[in-house]
Amino acid sequence: MIQVQPENERVATNMIGFRPLYRQVRDTLVRRIADGVWRPGQLLPSEPELATDLGVSQGTVRKALDEMTAENLVTRRQGRGTFVAKHDDARMLFQFFKLVPDRGEREVPESKVLRVSTEIEPAAAKQLHISVAEPIVVIERLRLLAGTVHVAERICVQAALFPGLETHEAPNNLYDLYSRSFGVTVCRASERLKAVAATANEAEHLGASPGDPLLEVDRVAFSLDGRRVEWRVSRCRTDSVHYASDVR
């Protein structure tokens, strides 16, 4: 049973440190997913079972699951129950890949890996909040839409967190690989966007000219337990695509 505040106790909403009960339940469920108690794609216990286990009402569990659904941490299937979300192509497309062709139809991107290496990368270590002496796995690849290269990507992760990653075939959907093979689930990301000029190497890969404008997407991805687990810098051609973000 988790240590949560009894529902029959009324707490002033302006009390320092006050957290609603359903958020405490949400945090406990997320921690269990992060600890591997439930794996991606696995069916969660029913709401009554969770309520009994956690010592709260079924309504509180439902509200916690509602929030987790909105955060894409779980998915609900009518008549089947609630499942831990997987990084399938549809989820990756709508949550993490924001480039959309100007004609308006979203497409699942393809990937072409250029190289994978393990090296000491102080800039990546700084972004991941780890020691500069920690080995970093670096993946460089291109992203294609409808067969045309639009993105040159450089991805950095801590080698110790993903042992043997460099020996895996890097799939199009890396976040699914992180989850399935290493137990690291990316739940959110922080991005910074900036206009930059294409380098000679980027121009060659992207079919552009050196100095052409590109959109740089600098992303740090976070796991369920709040760790920084990936630093990704994407340089994007935007002559026939745009960056689409839903603001709510």
Q: What's the mean per-residue pLDDT of the chain?
A: 87
pLDDT, tens digit, 9 for 90 and up, residues 49-94:
999 999 999 999 999 999 988 888 888 988 889 998 876 656 655 6
Domain 21-84 identical in fold to domain 89-243:
no
Rounded to 5°, the CA angle 243-244-245 comes to 120
CB atoms within 10 A of CB 204: 13
Q: Which fold has domain 89-243?
A: Chorismate lyase (3.40.1410)
Looking at domain 21-84, which CATH architecture does it have?
Orthogonal Bundle (1.10)
pLDDT of residue 19: 80
Amino acid at 163: P
Domain boundaries, the chain: 21-84, 89-243
| SS3 of residue 215 by DSSP | strand
pLDDT of residue 10: 31
Could you give the CA distance from residue 233 to residue 209 in angstroms, rounded to a whole number? 20
Cβ–Cβ under 8 Å, residues 130 and 111: no
pLDDT, tens digit, 9 for 90 and up, residues 1-30:
454 544 433 333 333 456 889 999 998 998
CB atoms within 10 A of CB 87: 22
